Amino acid sequence: MTGKVYICGAGPGDPKLMTVRAMELLTSCDVVLYDRLVGQAVIDQIPAKSEKVYVGRAVGDPTTHQKRTNELMVKYTKQGKSVLRLKGGDPFIFGRGAEEAEYLLKFGIGFEIIPGITSAIASPAYAGIPLTHRRYSSSVAIVTGHEGAEKEDSLVSVNWKKLPEAVDTIVVLMGIGQIEQISADLIKGGLKGSTKIAIVESGTTAKQRVVTGTLKNAAKAIDKHQVRPPAIIIIGKVAGLHKKLDWFSSVNAD
Ligand code: SAH
């Protein structure tokens, strides 16, 4: 009998933001294949009886490690095992979840998709930044800032210059290394240099840090505060609410 693959979001880092379904699968699946961004506190909860395999980056370049992950999913399911394919945040938000499902389809292997709380909404929430607000924002775009390494197989790109006229809040994932170009393009597209931004590093974890600034000085702020991935950038008026609505720094400090 062929096993099944559960392509599942692990949430943004805080293990309490795992869904009930994800927890259920974490304790019942035979094998767990997990990514770099799955929090250590989540990994610690995998029972000793399960096999756990790290399949994140560092195993090779993006193509090699994706190939290995695909092959492992097929290998284990052919052995009749249930496989939990655990990904940071949500599997369908820059998580290659769909590509893995497409791969499984080719082999006739059954799968389920379990959404997770994406870092794109959880990190702002833990920084006291609402992505929409009746006074400041009625639209949000979640975009990737990193089209470099993925470019060869990415068929679509972000239209930075059009975003400013289309949406009020922009959330950039994988963008801290490219912030200079991103800011320049958004300013060309019509955003003011004084537009508020907030950067959330290691959101929802004990290491969460929030750096605020403006579009014009974003690159300097990232450099000055030595911001490291994983981090997201929130651009727009709502970023200015951090100071007022921040609640996590005090809880986290307890
Ligand atoms: N599927 C994931 C995103 C994967 S892309 C999700 O839904 O969250 C990886 C990017 O996600 C990182 O470069 C960073 O921009 C963002 N990210 C993931 N976890 C994060 C966290 N805890 N804090 C801030 N950003 C995070």
Task: Write the pLDDT tens digit of every residue in 110-130.
Answer: 999 999 999 999 999 999 999
- Over pLDDT 70: what percentage of the chain? 94
Q: Does residue 153 carry a pLDDT above 70?
A: no
Ligand 1 site, residue 119, Cβ cutoff 6 A = yes
pTM: 0.95
Q: What is the pLDDT of residue 58?
A: 61
CB of 88 shorter than 6 A to ligand 1? yes
Give 79 Cα–ligand 1 centroid separation in angstroms: 32
Is the pLDDT reported for residue 171 higher than 70? Answer: yes
Q: How confident is the model at residue 148 (pLDDT cuts 50, 70, 90)?
A: low
Residue 78 dihedral angles phi and psi, to the nearest 5°: -65, -30
pLDDT at residue 149 is higher than 50: no
pLDDT digits (tens, 9 = 90+) for 26-63: 999 999 999 999 988 899 999 999 999 999 876 556 67
Q: What is the pLDDT of residues 55-108, one digit of tens each?
A: 987 655 667 788 999 999 999 999 999 999 999 999 999 999 999 999 999 999
Ligand 1 closest atom vs CA 13: 22
The CA distance from 118 to 173, in Å, is 11
3-state secondary structure of 226: coil
Q: What residue ranges define each of the domains in the chain, with the CATH number in brackets?
A: 4-117 (3.40.1010.10), 120-253 (3.30.950.10)
Per the prediction, the chain carries an average pLDDT of 93
For a mutational test of ligand 1's pocket, the pick from 93, 100, 173, i.e. the residue with the most ligand atoms closer than 8 A to its C-beta, is 173
97-106 and 62-78 helices, crossing angle to 10°: 50
Collapsing DSSP to helix, strand or coil, 224 comes out as helix
Distance 137 CA to ligand 1 centre (A): 22
Taking the C-alpha atoms of residue 39 and residue 209, their distance in angstroms, rounded to an integer, is: 16
Ligand 1 atom closest to 175 (CA) = 15
Q: Where are the alpha helices (DSSP H) in 8-50?
A: 20-28, 40-43
